[in-house]
Amino acid sequence: MNSENNAVAPGYRALALQFCFVASGENPEGNLSKLMPGWQMVWSSGQPRDPNYFFVAKDTNYTAEDVFVLAIRGSVMPTEDWDTLVDYILEDLNSVLWPWKYGGTAAAISAGGAIAFLEMEKVHNALKNSAPETLLDFLTKNAVGDRKRLIIAGHSLGGNLAKVYASYFMQMLKVSMQGKIYLITFAAPASGNAAFQADLNRKISSQEHCQNLNDIVPFYPTVAGLHAIGTLYRPGPRAANINMSYMDKHTKRMEKMNLQEFFDKLAVDFTIFNYQQPLTGYCTFLASPLLGTADELVDELKYWQLQTVRQHQIAVYAHLLGIDLPKRNTQTPAAEATV
């Protein structure tokens, strides 16, 4: 594993991934006590099937400090549908200024991330018999102060939102929580430009952002990352040999090109936005072996699509990081194909 300025204890990394796994299930509220004994859900955004569902849990066993985890789930997106994939990608082909920052830096985040954050900001606690507080109000009241620690975690687009929300939360704090708030993401795309990442680095010293080098999502939408996506999965399917067609929602025309050309074109289109991954705590690790069967190897496009889903799974990250996931009876589609 390659990691720079890693300030997160392995135990917190494991907790973060385990809670991302819980958030990916069908009934996190009902299953939390079984999957994570000693933890209690204390805030919830609502229905687990809602896009970017998130919740807060508190450790009820540990009495020396109050430890909270904010877990944010990624949205479900069917990567087998190329038109949906293109729409998802082009959603970030725009950015908006980020107002919750220090100084006069021109920090910006993706337009898609900004929409999701604004929805996240206005949600109130949906747990029964709980005060209808926003997430900010709840965390400020309960997770800030002496003997308090907060882990902000997310997988995939949940990791994208974790970075955005952590920046906002740190900006809104009236007291210093440096060293007591941990931002930990897995398989997250870049959230904003270089100025946003520099600002985030100033705010939070304890960060870790994990990437499987065979997972395309964390490469997106940085320029270097988009170019790199077309070189993945060798000696498996080569992007230059896979032809595709999709509807360009801007030109309203059908476009035809191979996958390598597609990602190279995207890299040029995204250059102006200067999206970057975090400047500290970014860790990459040896890629997971290609996952597939002999039958799947025959169709290069199908094999490519399967890799994009399988390499991104929470279970693959757990295996590569040596983390045990909670046991549950069934695996939901959200757990298998969140991006």
pLDDT digits (tens, 9 = 90+) for 129-141: 999 999 999 999 9
Q: Other CB atoms closer than 10 Å to residue 104's CB: what's the count? A: 7
- Phi-psi domain of 200 (left: phi exceeds 0; alpha: psi -120 through 50; beta: other): alpha
Q: Note the pLDDT of residue 296.
A: 64
How many other CB atoms sit within 10 Å of the CB of residue 94? 12
Spatial CA neighbour of 39 closest among 17, 67, 8, 72: 67
Q: Is the pLDDT score of 254 beyond 70?
A: yes
Q: Which of 110, 113, 4, 132 is nearest to 51 (CA)?
A: 113
Which residue pairs, CB below 8 angstroms and at least 24 apart, start in 225-228? Answer: 225/190, 225/277, 226/263, 226/264, 226/266, 226/267, 226/270, 227/263, 227/264, 227/267
Report the SS3 class of residue 70. Answer: strand
| Pair of tokens at residue 248 | 């360009």
- CA dist 174 and 171 (Å) reads 8
Q: Distance between CA atoms of 275 and 82, rounded to whole angstroms?
A: 23
Given a cut of 90, is residue 170 above it in pLDDT?
yes
- Which residues partner with 338 through β-bridges? 76
Of 29-33, 114-118, 172-176, 225-229, which range is least confident? Answer: 172-176
pLDDT of 329 reads 60
User: What average pLDDT does the chain have?
Assistant: 84
Question: Domain span at residue 153?
Answer: 2-223+277-337
Question: Is position 237 within any domain?
Answer: no
- For residue 46, being part of any structural domain is answered with yes
- Nearest by Cα to 223 from 261, 179, 275: 275
CATH number at residue 330: 3.40.50.1820
196 close to 167: Cβ distance less than 8 angstroms: yes
Interval 47-64: pLDDT, tens: 877 778 999 999 998 777
Q: Tokens 């590569």 correspond to what residue? A: 320
Between 331 and 140, name the one with better pLDDT: 140
Does the pLDDT at position 337 exceed 50?
Answer: no
Burial of 279 (0-12, 13-18, 19+ CB in 10 A): middle
Say how far apart CA 15 and CA 322 lie, in whole Å: 12
- In angstroms, the CA 191 to CA 162 distance is 9
pLDDT at position 339, please? 38
- Residue 3, pLDDT score: 45
Question: Could you tell me if 174 and 199 are in contact, meaning their C-beta atoms sit under 8 angstroms apart?
Answer: no
Classify residue 242: in a domain, yes or no. Answer: no
Q: How far apart are CA 170 and CA 185, in angstroms?
A: 17
Q: What is the pTM of this model?
A: 0.89
pLDDT score for 328: 67
Q: Which two tokens stand for residue 142?
A: 């309960």
Flag whether pLDDT at 6 surpasses 50: no
Query: Is the residue at 234 inside a domain?
Result: no
pLDDT, residue 200, reads: 93
Tell me, what amino acid is at 234? R
Average pLDDT over every residue of 99-127: 89
Domain assignment of residue 161, yes or no: yes
Q: Measuring CA to CA, which residue among 331, 304, 274, 301 is closest to residue 214?
A: 304
Per residue in 20-36, pLDDT (tens digit) is 999 998 899 999 999 99
Count up the domains in the chain and report the number. 1
Cβ neighbours, 10 Å, residue 186: 32
* 172: in domain: yes
